[in-house]
Homo-oligomer: A and B are copies of this chain.
Amino acid sequence: MKKKDMNKQTIIQDAVAEIILAEGAVSVSTTKVAKLAHIAQSNVYLYFKDKQALLDSVYQRERNRIINTTDIAELRNHDIDIETRIRYYIEQVYDYSLANPDSMNLIQQIKFLMGEDDGLVINDSPNNIVHELLQEAIDNQVIKKLPINLHMGMVFSTIHQHTNNIGDQQYPESEYKFEDIYQFIWDAMRIH
């Protein structure tokens, strides 16, 4: 049993994630979580201050997964052409989203539950790098002078929609190449 090695924290977080993906974030309750994690209900409060903290932690775990999976450092590498760096960024979001379709859904669900309405656009330090990158691109007149969250939101929502389409088996992954999606996004962003 793999589960034996995991610590309880992780088991609980997994339960939360499972419920969110199956029934939506609204349906998460300590009762259900405990049942799914095979622990006592009160036990949840041993590992998490309250339900909010629990959801936060699941959210953060997913954020970290992204950060650890993707290579942000390169985005700051000014030796690389800015257009290339943006493409690299989009590619990473694309790869991550296809490899971890649930991850994006989790983040979206939790953000929605918490009442944040900027969709998948996340404002934390790793994303600040992206923010800087896009700001730089705007300043250098590489991409359109529009609010940065419009640029980012478009990247996320497009890729996420595409990933969900595949998950819903609307078409096979092979139907569209990265290049197709990238062209769509990049055409929007760039100055023609």
Copies in the assembly, this chain: 4
Give the residues in chain B near A162, CB-CB below 8 Å. Answer: 147, 150
Q: A116 — nearest CB in chain B belongs to which residue? A: B24
Is there an interface contact between A157 and B119, defined as CB atoms closer than 8 Å? yes
Is there an interface contact between B146 and A117, defined as CB atoms closer than 8 Å? no
Interface size class of A (residues with CB under 8 A): 35 or more
Give the residues in chain B near A26, CB-CB below 8 Å. Answer: 26, 113
Bitwise, A142-170 to B at CB < 8 A (1) or not (0) is 00111101100110011001101100001
A184 part of interface (Cβ distance < 8 Å): yes
Give the residues in chain B near A146, CB-CB below 8 Å. Answer: 176, 180-181, 184
Interface residues of A in 31-48 (CB under 8 A from B): none
B-contacting residues of A (Cβ < 8 Å)? 23-24, 26, 105, 108, 112-113, 115, 117-119, 121, 144-147, 149-150, 153-154, 157-158, 161-162, 164-165, 170-171, 176, 180-181, 183-185, 187-190, 192
* Contacts A146-B176, A150-B161 supplied; 5 other A-B pairs, CB < 8 Å: A23-B115, A108-B117, A184-B189, A187-B187, A188-B188
